Structure 1
């Protein structure tokens, strides 16, 4: 199969024309030590239909309950998520967590794509996928099936009909289809 790592590697090597996934890879794409496409990549908003939209995901930061230096860890978290800390993360090629950092003049001078990322976040829907416990199982089946359609000789309609049947079975087993 052709997963995230393979897709990113192919894009960084200049072997594929597009990489529609996460913005967190922008630092790697713009790093000459890791990428052959530095300066050759543009960024754009998702195409607009009736309304504009964007998916969202993210990374979290936390303190384990068994941490020895909880107070110091909390202070570090506060600093990393502060305006100053977030800007330094962005200037180092990381993904900022503040709208103000995406709009920062210094950040945009170094990484012009940050303004587009900030605009996309204004339209992001954090609930773009179903917020149900069985979504992971359904999503894995859909992703695996679509990957097989692209890499094997599977009929798209038959493959998606199979996903629909399996999804209904998962949803029924989870108690979502209780009506007659």
Structure 2
């Protein structure tokens, strides 16, 4: 089940009652109760349990930005690998391969199992052409659309030798 959550507390999130959606409401500002939940791993909630993984849209902003801003950061548990997604788009769809069952394989022939991958898709907000309050997703004839997404792979910080 798709869902909506806000990362930056800005206006423009899809309202409650939108077909097949829910709203988590804005994240509290820094220092307010609950603010920490917006800066750590995404929360486990009813929709997450029902979908048995993520298939959620995070509303990044109430508008498209001119310069890319960081929308997501994924890091390996050991911190040796990190990927960041920077975008000018107003939304980020996160899907965690909830329905893969091992019958498909990767190019090397390894089975693709449930939760064996994560997809980060920058996009406009659902139903944007029909909702004036949302950032426009309409591209008129003769005009050019501009949206930018960057996948960055920052180098891990140098580790300090332990004094064992």
| TM-score, structure 2 as length reference | 0.23
> Could you say which structure has the larger radius of gyration?
1
Greater share of helix: 1
| TM-score, structure 1 as length reference | 0.22
